[in-house]
Each structure stands twice: as C-alpha cells, then as structure tokens.
Amino acid sequence: MEKIITSFIEYLHNVKKMSTNTELSYKRDLLKVADYLNGQGITDITKVSATNLNSYIIYMEKSSFSAATISRNIACIKSFYHYLIKEGIVKEDVSENLKAPKVEKKIPEILTTQEVFRLLEQPHGDHPKDIRDKAMLELLYATGIRVTELITLKVQDVNLALGYINCKDAHKERTIPIGHTSKEALGKYLASARDAMLADSKDDTLFVNCSGEPMSRQGFWKLIKYYAKKAGIDADITPHTLRHSFAAHLVENGADLHSVQEMLGHSDISTTQIYANMSHSRIREVYAKAHPRK
C-alpha cells in the first residue's frame, strides 16, 4: 500500500502542483490509515471496504482527534480514492459516503493595533539583520500573506515603484498593494542589506537568513517569537497571528469582504466572513460599554 501512496504523492506534486506542506500532510495521514488497516489484516488496497474506512473514522473519534483533524483526513482519503479510480487501481470509490464532522470555526487570535505597532517597532537597528527583520514584519502585516508565501517571494515579485507585490501559490497568482511604511522598509532592505547577506549573488530569493540562504519557516517562527517577547506581548503568537490581525483590522476599519478575500487568497468567502463576525462582536462590546441607555 505504501508504494501506491508514494505514487499518489508524486501525482500531487507533478500534476496537481500541491505545496510541499500539503504533500507531507497527505502522506502522513495516509500512512496512518495504512497502518490502521494493516492492524486489521488488510494490506491490499482493493480489499478495503467502506466499513473499514468508517471504522477508521470511528477510531479517530474515540481517540479524541479534533473535528478539524478528522475532516482533513477524510478529505485526504477522498482525494486518494479519486486518484485510485482515475488510475484504474480500484473500481469502486468506497470513500464517497464518508461524512466529515461539523467543524466549529474558532475565532482566530489577533493582536490589537497597539500590540502590532509595538511588535513592528522592535527591529530598529542598522545591522542588515535588523533591516531584514523590519522589512519582513512590515510586509507580513501590510499584506496578510502566509509565512510560506513570504519566505518564497522573489526579488522580481516586488514592484516598489507602483507599490505592490505578486504573490504566487500552486494554483493562482494575486497582486497585493503595500503601504508606505512597508514600502519604505522593503526599499531599505533591498538597497542596503540584502546584498550584504547573500551567499550567492545569483540567488533571487527576496529574504535570506544570516547564512545567506533562503529563510525557513522555522527561522521566521523563531524571529517573530523573539520580537513578540521584546515587545512585551504575552499572547503566544505565530506568523499566522499577523495574517489574522491584518484581515481583522481591515474589516474593522471598513474594508469590504471581497477585497479582503482577494488579498488573503481565500477561495471561499465564508472563510473570510469570520473576520466580519469578529468586527460585529467588537461593535457589540463597544456598544455595551459606552451606550448611555444600554
């Protein structure tokens, strides 16, 4: 079964152009399914029944896996079976009746504007690393892009003259405007810091680490934790916290949902809707505290 899983992951990479993170997640989830089925004495993919798959989902529920994790596994299994049918490996899609549990959408953690400003003010020196860190944080908050998108940006994706960046993922490309502050920080980095940090002058990666190599997700994760601590922010923030804060602050200040959806790269407006719900909650909170006849 592992060979078929490997073939499926290669298909995701070569044909579907999935991100590395998605490929790793799918492979990890499918190997766990295979391990479970092996424990049931099933090693041939053609012998797997709908009952077997349902029993795996029940096992996950009894093992207290979150609804989001179970839903992700079901989506993964369904995608796998679409591939198996397409390749003629199985004749019947025994995954079609798997039902994902209802996932309660949690309100994402966001920073206040004051906390964001304190965070962005932390890198303020003239060392190339300080200039790079300032540019990265400012750009992340200015655009709301994902950390993977941030660290894979190329120099040619930046248009300082017109004030925007081109952000690409496996499926589409979007143009996102950047404000004056972010534009200034990015311009300073490109003019006075990036060349000093590069290990290879031919490398077109926008942001590099202190060894001159492309910045990693883990490297940026540590960076944002470091500056959050310096800023006196108690919340356990992640790079995604700035993305959520970007969206919530835009909606709170009157941006329309479709524009925010476009900038974030959400395929479904319902994903963006959560930020409007947060804004409404904030309005009710202010009303309850301030209205004279509440």
**What are the tens digits of pLDDT across the range 111-150?**
888 899 999 999 988 999 999 999 999 999 888 888 889 9
Q: Specify the pLDDT at position 294.
A: 46
Q: Specify the pLDDT at position 103.
A: 61
The class level of CATH for 2-86 reads mainly alpha
Residue span(s) of the chain under CATH 1.10.443.10 come to: 113-289
CA distance 5 to 45: 10
Residue span(s) of the chain under CATH 1.10.150.130 come to: 2-86
The class level of CATH for 113-289 reads mainly alpha
List residues bridging with 219 in a β-sheet.
Answer: none
Q: Specify the pLDDT at position 287.
A: 43
Asked if residue 286 has pLDDT above 60, the reply is no
**In the chain, % of residues over pLDDT 90:** 49
pLDDT per position as a tens digit, 79-92: 999 999 999 999 99
Q: 143-171 burial by CB neighbour count: b if 16+ within 10 A, else e?
A: bbbbbebbbbbeeebbeeeeebbebebee
**In the chain, % of residues over pLDDT 70:** 89
Q: Specify the pLDDT at position 289.
A: 53
Asked if residue 276 has pLDDT above 60, the reply is yes
CA distance 233 to 88: 54
pTM of the model as a whole: 0.61
Contact between residue 146 and residue 220 where contact means Cβ atoms under 8 Å apart:
no
Rounded to the nearest integer, the mean pLDDT of the chain is: 86
Asked if residue 290 has pLDDT above 60, the reply is no
Three-class SS of residue 259? helix
Measured in whole angstroms, how far is the alpha carbon of residue 280 from the centre of its chain?
25
